[in-house]
Chain A
Amino acid sequence: MIQKFVILMLATTSLLPAQNFPAGKSILEKVDQNMSARTRISVSRMEITMARGSRTIEAKSWSEGDKNAFTEYLAPAREKGTKMLKTDRQLWIYSPATDRVIQISGHMLRQSVMGSDLSYEDMMNDTPLLEQYSAIVDAAETIGGRSCWVVTLTALAPDVSYHQQKMWIDQERNVPLKIEMYARGGKLLKKIELSDVKRVQGRWFPMSMLYKDMLKKGEGTRMTFLDLQLDTALPAGIFTKASLK
């Protein structure tokens, strides 16, 4: 009798998460619907906190998926007018000081953006999560008073930068509020805290993101969207070298 009871209890508890938690795939779908856009025009501010002080960079960006991106730096004065064009794996930078367009190796995309905790790749990556990861919902937790699903994402292909990610996704708005990014061996590499979730053209979108390289000392880099337009028509020829000058 006791044996039957224990088996019944075990079966019930093991079935519980499966019954209560939604499928990871459906959550990712909803997150992609919010976060991923065909085109994006944004004005953002990046506050980089380093050991020797902090610096703020403002930029206007136009992007199309994760292939094409064009960025013009607006501040500080030293960087103002610097433009960057990325098309597929090619990268060009225009510096107003030298009035020259320089092509930079595509590998530069993996480097830090002006000493921040973000790489160019991190900044421009807009590949839908569903295309890169499989997802399993592990738990339900609360972050900043919002109920979240804790979802573990595992890369579907070997060429995804972070083999595993853990996301705390707002159950109601389907927006991640915290992301942890892991190496293949399981070491925590990066953490992103997303906040100030607002309605942007019918979607929920976090307007502020705090990136933190977990291997490095420092307080991280905060990226704030001052203006954001999603799925809007982009100016013709914006992703050509002619637009750099």
Chain B
Amino acid sequence: MLLFKTALQSLIGNGLKTWLTVFVLSLAIVMIIIMQGILHGWSRQAIDDAQRWELADGQYWCGGYDPWDPFSLDSATASIPEPLARQVEQGLLEPVLITQATVYPEGRMQGVMLRGIRPGQQLLEIPTAVLRGDSMGPVPVVVGAFMARQLKVKLNDEMILRWRDKNGAFEAVDIRIAGVFKTAVPSIDNGVLWIGLENLQAMTMRQGEANILVKSEAAEVIEVEGWTFKTVDKLMEATLLLVKTKSAGTSVFYVIFLLLAMLAIFDTQTLAIFRRQREIGTMVALGMTRGQVVKHFTIEGSLYALLAIVVGAVWGTPLIWYLSAVGISFPMEAAEFGVPMADVMYAAVTPGLVLGTVLFVFVVTAIVSYLPARKIATMNPTEAIRGKIL
């Protein structure tokens, strides 16, 4: 306790220099917590958005279906087999048929992915009810806000859609933008046009067929030949890997912050030991062991971390609360980024994250404080009092 008291007194005695070091260290602590919190919040949000808009509780993929190879889509569709068809009828599975097509908004040609989904579905948040339309007018389709901007179309705009049926024959109809939705999931927005499933099945002559079946929580996973079930974890693998990579990338920033703080502490400690040789010699002469003096200086250095934690808590807590409750908005669109990303991201800060960061910073500070203090162990007290040791 005595060591702690004297260490604290010497630290406070350093004045502004101490508080500057403490502030930089507190900045490092809060930044680590915020950045990690935002990345954690992003991955949590990405999974949540993807489940609400695209994946639900997983997907069955028809054999050969590869979302990254649009040219293989035609050969990756099949009739829905009996046990799964029953679940489709009960609304437990949502079939999606996908085909390549071309749209001509205002005479411009643009390749799109045409995705057929049942207008009455409730599983995904895509506003499919408007896909019912009347059979006489242009075929209704819905698009994401990003796609609408790409096509330069707005609600109720009409254009020509051209595609090939399953035999390869061309067909074309007029379509109408019946709905525009805003989503944070780019894979259902960027380059995608949603159309009524039965319409698309008739258009492509693929009655009763689908490429994927989206599973609801209530549906049981069944082993069916020719179809493979993919869990949400599996389907989100690439996105989560990206978040992880981003997390590793951002660690560069807090390594820089930490380095700055640690450099300041190391420098202060080295200078203190050089300047306070007489004090060290006196302490040893008065009966303190070299180990106790080393401990004194290590505690003094480590106190920077303790003070930084207190200071960081004072200014960081309201900021972290704000970022958790109100979030931070990003000007970019999710579809431009290519991965699920909401307009507003919230920091997901857990007690584990805070404790882990604080402990990490404390241990690093203690090590950095100990390193220059080791020299004290080799001191001769009489030489130290004379100031001729270092």
Judge if A215 is at the interface, Cβ distance under 8 Å: yes
Q: Which 4 A-B pairs have the closest CB atoms?
A: A217-B107, A107-B71, A105-B71, A159-B167
Task: List the A side residues contacting B108 at CB < 8 Å.
Answer: 51, 216-217
Whether the pair A184, B171 counts as a contact (CB closer than 8 A) is yes
Main SS at interface, chain B:
mixed
Q: Which of B127-135, B141-149, B157-165, B260-268 makes up part of the contact surface?
A: B157-165
Whether the pair A155, B107 counts as a contact (CB closer than 8 A) is no
Task: List the B side residues contacting A42 at CB < 8 Å.
Answer: none
Judge if A110 is at the interface, Cβ distance under 8 Å: yes
The 22 listed contacts between A and B (C-beta, < 8 Å) are A51-B108, A106-B71, A107-B71, A108-B71, A110-B164, A110-B168, A158-B169, A160-B168, A160-B169, A161-B164, A161-B168, A162-B170, A183-B169, A183-B171, A184-B169, A184-B170, A213-B109, A215-B102, A216-B104, A216-B108, A216-B109, A217-B108
Task: List the B side residues contacting A45 at CB < 8 Å.
Answer: none
Q: Which of A86-105 contact B (CB under 8 A)?
A: 105
Judge if B69 is at the interface, Cβ distance under 8 Å: yes
Per-residue interface assignment for chain B, residues 147 to 191, with 1 indicating a CB less than 8 Å from any chain A CB and 0 otherwise: 000000000000010101101111111000000000000000000
Q: Which of A184-202 contact B (CB under 8 A)?
A: 184-185, 187, 189
Chain A interfacial residues counted at CB < 8 A: 25
Whether the pair B107, A215 counts as a contact (CB closer than 8 A) is yes
Task: List the A side residues contacting B170 at CB < 8 Å.
Answer: 161-163, 181, 183-184, 189
Whether the pair A215, B69 counts as a contact (CB closer than 8 A) is no
Judge if B72 is at the interface, Cβ distance under 8 Å: yes
Task: List the A side residues contacting B173 at CB < 8 Å.
Answer: 185, 187
The residue on B at minimum CB distance from A186 is B172
8 Å CB contact of A215 from B74, B109, B167, B168:
B109
Whether the pair B109, A187 counts as a contact (CB closer than 8 A) is no
Chain A nearest CB from B300 CB (Å) reads: 62
Whether the pair A184, B109 counts as a contact (CB closer than 8 A) is no
Chain B nearest CB from A50 CB (Å) reads: 10
8 Å CB contact of B160 from A110, A157, A181, A215:
A215
| Cα(A130)–Cα(B169), bound, Å | 17
Task: List the A side residues contacting B102 at CB < 8 Å.
Answer: 215
Given A105-B71, A160-B168: 12 more A-B contacts, CB < 8 Å: A158-B165, A158-B205, A160-B169, A161-B169, A161-B170, A162-B170, A183-B171, A184-B170, A185-B173, A213-B109, A215-B162, A216-B109
| Cα(A105)–Cα(B160), bound, Å | 26
Chain B nearest CB from A58 CB (Å) reads: 24
The residue on A at minimum CB distance from B173 is A185
| Cα(A187)–Cα(B167), bound, Å | 18
| Cα(A187)–Cα(B203), bound, Å | 14
Chain B nearest CB from A170 CB (Å) reads: 26
| Cα(A135)–Cα(B205), bound, Å | 25
Task: List the A side residues contacting B162 at CB < 8 Å.
Answer: 183, 189, 215
Q: Which of A125-182 contact B (CB under 8 A)?
A: 155, 157-163, 181
Q: Which of A201-231 contact B (CB under 8 A)?
A: 213, 215-218
Whether the pair A105, B72 counts as a contact (CB closer than 8 A) is yes
Task: List the A side residues contacting B69 at CB < 8 Å.
Answer: 105
Task: List the B side residues contacting A162 at CB < 8 Å.
Answer: 169-170
